[in-house]
């Protein structure tokens, strides 16, 4: 029993470490490396079918406007007095209750999920998404997971974005989730509350490529570049509820309702100031199958 308890604790620590490392890797891949002074709305206008004249964006660089502050700060808070006893001679086993409450749950679960959703943004209609998650129970009714997914949102034909963007937008996501089960593991159906947060990256293609000047960090011109696509990073948070309509020892089938939001960063991957995409508020409807071992 003690070995099972220690395995699950190691598993939960591993999940959090993978989340942090993967988030940093994604941020390094998609983070902004271009220096421009233009606005995203100007880029949209230059790409628009209604644009007249040369497709070029004025991106004159002003070093005084550089902001040294990061858009996002990831912090890890903890109790400075907390520690892990490493001396086996003095270590005490966890309370008997902490060991026994894990009975009835498998150690690891793979979740395959998909569904649709709605945004409060009038520029988009529908939101189809697909997710994979790996998680485990850290106690009888407490579940942690890391998840990754891809989704797409088509643009309304009446939206001004439809004149500038081609085939809507797609999103990549990496995050962590938590579930609290209100029902015990031996019941045929399971009800739980859930929540999570993560890193999101939205990508799009312009209908008509355009040119813009690129600058180095000192404001020196690097030359004109042709831009055909762009993207922006964001922070996602959600809460919700889920229902396992079937749950056995190694299989679960159910659905979730997840209201949440994505707060987009202030600068795109191509270095434009993001004055187009505000915070996305959404509600996701998800169905899933989950396999445990």
Q: Kindly report, residue by residue over 174-196, the tens digit of the pLDDT.
A: 999 999 999 988 888 999 999 99
Its domain, for residue 46, covers 2-61+110-292
Distance CA 253, CA 51 (A): 50
Asked, for residue 94, whether it belongs to a domain, the answer is no
How many domains does the chain contain in total? 1
Stretch among 12-26, 45-59, 129-143, 168-182 having the lowest mean pLDDT: 12-26
Asked, for residue 78, whether it belongs to a domain, the answer is no
**Is the pLDDT at 76 greater than 80, yes or no?**
no
Comparing CA positions, the residue from 124, 118, 144, 125 lying closest to residue 19 is 144
Query: Which pTM does this prediction carry?
Result: 0.73
Asked, for residue 38, whether it belongs to a domain, the answer is yes
Asked, for residue 35, whether it belongs to a domain, the answer is yes
Distance CA 16, CA 175 (A): 10
Select the more confidently predicted residue: 57 or 99: 57
Kindly report the CATH number assigned to the domain that includes residue 135: 2.40.160.20
**Is the pLDDT at 290 greater than 70, yes or no?**
yes
Spatial contact of 112 and 145, defined as CB atoms under 8 Å apart:
no
Spatial contact of 169 and 203, defined as CB atoms under 8 Å apart:
yes
Asked, for residue 76, whether it belongs to a domain, the answer is no
DSSP notation for 27-84: HHHHS---B---BHHHHHHHHSTT--S--EE-----GGG---S-S--------TT---
Asked, for residue 98, whether it belongs to a domain, the answer is no
Distance CA 277, CA 168 (A): 13
Distance CA 217, CA 154 (A): 35
Stretch among 16-30, 74-88, 109-123, 248-262 having the lowest mean pLDDT: 74-88
**H helix runs in the chain, sequence order:** 2-30, 40-47, 96-100
Residue with tokens 């902004």: 32
Enter the tokens of residue 151: 């989704």
Question: In this prediction, what percent of the chain has a pLDDT beyond 70?
Answer: 68
Asked, for residue 70, whether it belongs to a domain, the answer is no
Asked, for residue 83, whether it belongs to a domain, the answer is no
pLDDT of residue 103: 52
Instruction: Summarize pLDDT for 62-73 with one digit per residue, the tens.
Output: 555 555 444 444
Strands 251-264 and 221-247: antiparallel
Spatial contact of 256 and 80, defined as CB atoms under 8 Å apart:
no
Centre a 10 Å sphere on the Cβ of residue 187 and count the other Cβ atoms it contains.
Answer: 11
């Amino acid at each position: 029993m003690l070995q099972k308890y220690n395995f699950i604790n190691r598993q939960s620590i591993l999940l959090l470490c993978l989340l942090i490392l993967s988030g940093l890797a994604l941020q390094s891949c998609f983070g902004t490396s271009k220096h421009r002074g233009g606005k995203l709305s100007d880029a949209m206008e230059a790409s628009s079918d209604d644009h007249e004249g040369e497709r070029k964006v004025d991106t004159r660089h002003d070093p005084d406007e550089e902001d040294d502050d990061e858009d996002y700060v990831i912090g890890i808070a903890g109790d400075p007095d907390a520690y892990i006893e490493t001396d086996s001679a003095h270590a005490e086993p966890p309370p008997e209750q902490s060991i026994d409450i894990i009975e009835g749950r498998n150690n690891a679960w793979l979740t395959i999920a998909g569904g649709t959703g709605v945004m409060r943004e009038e520029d988009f209609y529908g939101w189809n998404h697909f997710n994979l998650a790996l998680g485990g129970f850290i106690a009888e009714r407490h579940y942690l997971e890391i998840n990754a997914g891809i989704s797409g949102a088509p643009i309304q034909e009446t939206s001004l974005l439809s004149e500038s963007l081609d085939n809507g937008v797609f999103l990549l996501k990496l995050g962590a989730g938590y579930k609290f089960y209100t029902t015990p593991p031996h019941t045929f159906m399971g009800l739980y509350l859930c929540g999570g947060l993560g890193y999101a990256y939205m990508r799009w293609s312009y209908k008509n490529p355009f040119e813009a000047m690129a600058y180095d960090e000192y404001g020196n011109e690097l030359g004109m570049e042709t831009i055909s696509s762009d993207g922006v990073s964001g922070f996602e948070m959600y809460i919700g509820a889920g229902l396992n309509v079937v749950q056995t020892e190694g299989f679960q089938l159910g659905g979730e309702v997840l209201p949440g939001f994505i707060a987009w960063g202030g600068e795109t991957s191509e270095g434009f100031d993001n004055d187009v995409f505000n915070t996305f508020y959404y509600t996701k409807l998800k169905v899933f199958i989950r396999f445990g071992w």
